[in-house]
Structure 1
Amino acid sequence: MDSIVVTGNGPLRGQIPIAGAKNACLTLMPATLLSDEPLTLTNAPRLSDIAMMGTLLQSLGAEVAQMQGGKVLALSSHALDNHVADYDIVRKMRASILVLGPMLARDGHAVVSLPGGCAIGARPVDLHLRALEALGAELDLRDGYVHAKAPGGLRGGTFEFPLVSVGATENALMAATLARGTTVLKNAAREPEIADLARCLRKMGARIEGEGTSTLTIEGVARLGGATHAVVPDRIELGTYMIAPAICGGEVECLGGRIDLVQAFCDALDRAGITVAETEAGLKVTRGDGPVRATDVATEPFPGFPTDLQAQMMALMCTAEGTSLLEERIFENRFMHAPELMRMGARIDVQGGTATVTGVDRLKGAPVMATDLRASVSLILAGLAAEGETTVHRVYHLDRGYESVEEKLRNVGAKIERISGQ
């Protein structure tokens, strides 16, 4: 397995381009299943998860072509010949469940394996299934697969999510576009990726209102057409690279960054003494000469502080002046990076869903192990600020969510390299 070696090398300066959002693209790609006309996605990120979703769509009979080095995806589902999403593909990525709603809505039947993904706590698909049942789906779970059918087609309905769920909102939204009548989704997730999906679906002919709010109203149509759509910038990659100059010092401009995507995160950086300024090209992040201030954060659904930036924020707080509390309210078991940071000299006490972090003068390089996608990059960030050399093992997680991470960080002055086969 590959490893990444990072050596603390002082302040960072320069520009980092922000790729299209992984989580948005993984949702937009299954939208091709709703139509027999082509869907073209621009600003697509070049990631292993995107390739895996492409493989899944191809297994269903869709055509998937990568152009311009993978930044443009040409999708077509004009000749679907399979409605079974097999375990061998689905187990590798939780987003695979998002093919269920579109297939069911278009053709009235689908069989989808229960999904896999990062081991960061229980993330059941029951809300996906309950929302689809509210639209008239008949579901049967057996042998690890969801067997779904709607012989007469889906019909509009009202469903209130008992808990905010991004994936379930996306699945129900796509399914509702072809359901007969009106669908109202209450307590829906408000993430930018859902608004991006709604904009794409609207280009395809869907009738949707309320994206960005907790209530989505969808008037079903008989069919959807093709479209060309640019994937929204990745707010998690954006936040990650904003941490880099915050933890190392210096000034980095994140090209394509938008403050509306990361407002709560920017608020936390401001409390920590980090300056974020909008520019014509994106967001510029500057750390002054003074120490980073300890800052408390609690993860929440959008527009709150993102759970996917909690590990990166913990790395920053390890070097802050004072003691901070990081509360994880979205996923249990998402502090697995804490013991690895402690190997680097961090002072962290985890009790249930709260981590108490007392800043130290300097982290020290050490061999560490990545446990999931965001933990991987938090250890790289810590290594950038540490004294000596840090080797991050099992970085295959990293390639699921970060495009060219070594190149992007090297271009702003980081000393980082990938070692193959270790």
Structure 2
Amino acid sequence: MNTADLGLPVDVPSTALFTDHYELTMLQGALEGGTAERHSVFEVFTRRLPEGRRYGVVAGTGRVLDAVENFRFDADVLGFLRERRVVDEPTLEWLSSYRFSGDVWGYPEGEVYFPGSPILRVEGTFAQCVLLETVILSILNHDSAIAAAASRMTSAAGGRPLIEMGARRTHELAAVAASRAAYVGGFTTTSDLAAGFRYDIPTVGTSAHAFTLLHDSERDAFQAQVHSLGRGTTLLVDTYDVAEAVRTAVEIAGPELGAVRIDSGDLLLVAHRVRQQLDELGAVDTKITVTSDLDEYAIASLAAAPVDAYGVGTQLVTGSGHPTCSMVYKLVARAESADPKAPLMPVAKKSTGGKTSIGGRKWAARRLDEEGVAEAEVIGTGAVPAELADRQLLVELIKGGQVVAREPLDVVRDRHAAARANLPLSATQLSRGEAVIPTEYV
């Protein structure tokens, strides 16, 4: 796997420094104390959903698998750690041969999750697992936040296609990850060519206001675009006067004009006027695309408008008000000694302030009602009840350090659509509320 496939600059040799300083100092302490080789189980979960959200979306799993594979301490990385005196020489020697050889289980990407869901389980020695905390959380927290926002937006769109176009509103590497997560959440295309190149997401785009302003007249700009891109192109009609622009667009492209884009004004009102004008001009098949700082609420407000597609940028790539999912990576079980046969014992943080966790290696299943609709997220540490045996959610992702569960992004996207459809109807409501199904511990 090339680092370019991760959305990394080509001169970044590995993902090993996508971590926090204290991961390495914990490693050093464990190596010195003789506890580094204790078998350990870490789990990723969130104690609560972002305020008002009814469900979460697992996204970024494929990128996590790539990151774990590329977690290597090469000469440059080791030199940096040595120069900064982050850890001592014995620890650097240990890191020089680091390869994750443990197991990872998790919810399949695209699945929905709820408070307490063991979204990812990382199992191996303490030394191997603790180093992966930061990179795993940074990917899952970001991508799942974007996918959740995208899911809400696609639900609000009611089947109308959405274009991801937020690259200019976030970090250039985050933009690629955001585009991938948006696709998982149901968006159909992206404007970001890097995302198209790395993840095979369909890309689209035509022109901005600058192209119109470049020309001596709007007519000249439209003629140039149609001549270059064909009659099926999308013409931006709100640089000057919308009604005049629509008239000019149809005169130049004819009824075969693919679409017009509206990027400002009262979108509901303008869309109705443009639709009426297009129909009167004979361009009955010309579609209308709207952009302009849309979020799920604005999209829902346009449900009755004659809009055919939406372009979403800022609100999408910032998680529509919730840029993280507050996922944590906690040690939930560890062996009593470094002996490979030593039994596991559950461990958990018990501090006050709402940051407690539940110890033990967990399984998760989703219980359905008589109509096949999800009614509870069931989590346990013992035997799985017979009636839930075929409803378990965790799947094997990495076995003995080898990735065993890579899959096409379209499969992930379809899985999310199916998972969301299997939730109660109230899951798609935009009004604030609690998780759409409860989490039950057994």
TM-score by length of 2: 0.24
Q: Specify which structure has the higher proportion of helix.
A: 2
Q: Specify which structure has the higher proportion of strand.
A: 1
> Larger Cα Rg: Structure 1 or Structure 2?
2
TM-score by length of 1: 0.25
